[in-house]
């Protein structure tokens, strides 16, 4: 997995502070911005977090390039609907030599790993065979065109992709605003989240904290700021999680 923050709102914390201050200012936005030096910006963003005023942080957005996650992880990720996603297409991009994600528990069991690899190799063969068969079938539809074979193959890939496994990896560009990101971290940094999306969330949090440390100072699972909401399903490691995500144990 590779996660890279490729773009974000310039001076995100200053933008957020200006947006929040504008709600209570009689002067122009330009004048509000002029009064926001680094210290005042940090103070105001920290204050917003302390009182739970989150709507102003929607004004800052962050765009990530994500590579090497499974289609299974992608399905979980896109449940976070207040975001924009551009994902590599399996219709237009051949998966003839697809690579895949191996779960750690399978990696750690030689017998399971051997079976898993066997299944992936079989999927490779089935995919290639289906593409070949369907390409031949569709050639008739594009007879007489110079790009007939290319068009036939792309049409074949539409249906052949149905045999591809959830393990098949993908890449995407996604954008979330800061408020949605904090909600994402709330759910996906939790120890009860599935391992792959938890690793993704941790990598994303590391990226945004480097450029907006005050916005994401207490980002992470619910137990970072309060009690665990998981009840009897709690991992019982709240202090450890607070330490991991940078909050003092309470």
Q: What are residue 200's DSSP bridge partners?
A: none
Contact at 8 Å (CB) between 166 and 71?
Answer: yes
Location of structure tokens 């390409």: 135
CA dihedral defined by 23, 28, 29, 35, rounded to 10 degrees? -100
Alpha-carbon span 62 to 182, nearest angstrom: 12
Please name the helix (run of DSSP H) or strand (run of DSSP E) that holds residue 61, with its range, or none. strand 61-70
CA distances 101 to 9, 105, 122, 124, Å, are 32, 12, 16, 14
Alpha-carbon span 128 to 161, nearest angstrom: 10
Q: Which residues are catalytic?
A: 188
Please name the helix (run of DSSP H) or strand (run of DSSP E) that holds residue 111, with its range, or none. helix 110-138
Biggest alpha carbon–alpha carbon distance for the chain: 73
How does DSSP classify residue 161? Answer: G
Alpha-carbon span 156 to 91, nearest angstrom: 8
Q: Are strands 61-70 and 83-87 parallel, antiparallel or unpaired?
A: unpaired
Helix (H, G, I), strand (E, B) or coil at 87: strand
């Amino acid at each position: 997995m590779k996660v890279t923050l490729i773009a974000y709102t310039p001076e995100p914390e200053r933008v957020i502070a200006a947006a929040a201050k504008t709600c209570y200012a009689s002067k122009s936005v330009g004048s509000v911005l002029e009064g926001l030096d680094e210290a005042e910006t940090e103070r105001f963003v920290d204050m917003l977090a302390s009182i739970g005023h989150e709507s102003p942080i929607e004004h800052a957005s962050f765009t990530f390039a994500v590579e090497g996650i499974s289609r299974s992880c992608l399905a979980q990720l896109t449940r976070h609907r207040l975001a924009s996603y551009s994902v590599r297409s399996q219709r237009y991009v051949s998966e003839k030599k697809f690579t895949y994600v191996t779960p750690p528990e399978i990696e750690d069991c030689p017998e399971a790993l051997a079976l898993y690899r066997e299944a992936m190799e079989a999927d490779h063969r089935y995919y290639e065979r289906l593409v070949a068969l369907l390409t031949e079938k569709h050639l008739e539809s594009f007879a007489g065109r110079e790009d007939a074979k290319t068009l036939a193959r792309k049409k074949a890939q539409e249906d052949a992709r149905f045999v591809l496994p959830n393990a098949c990896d993908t890449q995407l560009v996604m954008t979330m605003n800061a408020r949605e990101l904090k909600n994402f971290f709330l759910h996906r940094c939790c120890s009860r989240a599935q391992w792959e999306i938890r690793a993704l969330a941790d990598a994303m949090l590391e990226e945004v904290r480097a450029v907006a440390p005050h916005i994401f100072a207490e980002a992470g699972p619910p137990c970072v700021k309060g009690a665990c909401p998981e009840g009897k399903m709690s991992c019982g490691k709240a202090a450890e999680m607070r330490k991991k995500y940078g909050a003092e144990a309470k």
